[in-house]
Amino acid sequence: MENLIANFNYVIVVILMMIGLWSMLAQKNLIKKCIGMAIFQTGIILFFISIGAKDNALIPILTEAANHTYPVSDASKVANPLTQILMLTAIVVGVATLGVALALAQKIYQQHSSFDEDEILENERK
């Protein structure tokens, strides 16, 4: 139980990822699958960001107003920038891949007039 509270972020990460995975596997609708993919992705991004957060830390922008002196002396008072930049690019790439997925879904709809997986398979067999 103590672990559960101290590592609450990982619990939410796992829940989000599993919700996304369930949606991708069990939902028959292609749009819902796309949304599930995006949710899975945000789960992973949340994992990276939350391991980069530090206790009592400030945001990774050095300003004089926040009593930062250039150069910084204590690295533990600034949140981890590395995980943030990895995920920053991942979000933009994520929206581009969401676009690719939606384009494929749109083409499939033009062929089969349906987003439903079962109907598409039926149409294929005909």
Partner 1 sequence: MPELPIWQFDVLLLILVVLFAVVALSIRNLMGAAVVFGAYSFMMCLIWAGMGAVDVAFTEAAVGAGVSTVFVVSTLYNTGATMQRRTGGLTFKLFIGVVVTVAGAFLLSALPDFPKWGAPDSPVNATVAPYYILNTFEDAHVPNIVTSVLADYRGFDTLLETTVVFIACIAIYSIMRVDKAKLETDEPAIVAAPRYDPSDSLIVRQASRFMVPFMQLFALYVIAHGHYSPGGGFQGGVILGASLILLAISFDLKFLLRQWSEKTLMLLVAVGVFLYAAVGLTCMFMGGDYLDYGFLDSILPGEKDMARSHGILLVEIGVGITVMFSMIAIHINLASNGRFDRGL
Partner 2 sequence: MNTFITTAGIALIGLMLLVLIRAIKGPTVIDRLVAINVIGTKSIVMLLFAGILFGQLEMFVDIALGYGLLNYIVSIAASRYYQHRKSLEPEHSPGGSPVS
29 forms bridges with which residues in the sheet? 116
CB 1 within 8 A of CB 17: no
Of residues 33-72, those binding partner 1 (CB under 8 A): 34-36, 38-39, 42, 45-46, 49-63, 70-72
CB 58 within 8 A of CB 78: yes
Of residues 14-33, those binding partner 1 (CB under 8 A): 14-23, 25-29, 31-32
State which residue, 97 or 116, has the beta carbon closest to partner 2. 116
Residue 37, binding choice from partner 2, partner 1, none, Cβ under 5 to 8 Å by partner class: none
